[in-house]
Amino acid sequence: MAKQKINRAFNEQIKYELDSAYLYLSMASYCESINLNGFASWMKSQSEEEREHAMKFYDFLQERGAEVELLAIDKPPKTFDSPVDVFQKALENEKKVTALIHKLYKIALSEDDYPAQVMLHWFIEEQVEEENAATEILEQLKLVGDQGAALLMMDRKLAERNT
């Protein structure tokens, strides 16, 4: 059975993961509105991945006989200034999630919750990948700018992403 402190923290993390999924879906909508369908596809895949992360926490709690409490998710922004702005905000979001995962790990350590620690190792590694992907795309966007053939080439490349 999960300890109450871990249970509460993991329920909050489910909310944060779903907040992220909603944010990425909003970013996908923005990208589609400016005809960058490859960017939109990438964001939709990212949104799905965040929902999968929420379900990992959900399943973990269920498997341990802990109560799952679904908290209200935040409304994401509707518009963005540019593709660079989209990926800047995506990177900021990933850094926030990384900090939250690290906080969860500290709680698991203080509670001597070894199963939670093992599960969180996966998320710690995942966040390194998430931040790296957002950083790489953001840096490339800064090089190519918000218009022109290079942006369209990036759009096509991002459309190739497999979840």
pLDDT in tens, 50-98: 999 999 999 999 999 999 999 999 999 999 999 999 999 999 999 999 9
Segment 92-108 shows an average pLDDT of 98
SS3 assignment, position 34: coil
Domain 4-159 has CATH 1.20.1260.10: yes
Give the single-character DSSP code of 137. H
116-159 per-position pLDDT tens digit: 999 999 999 999 999 999 999 999 999 988 778 888 888 888 98
Examine the pLDDT at 20 and tell me if it is beyond 90.
yes
* 136 token code pair: 């790489």
Domain boundaries, the chain: 4-159
Q: What is the pTM of this model?
A: 0.92
Residue 29: predicted pLDDT: 98
Examine the pLDDT at 3 and tell me if it is beyond 90.
no
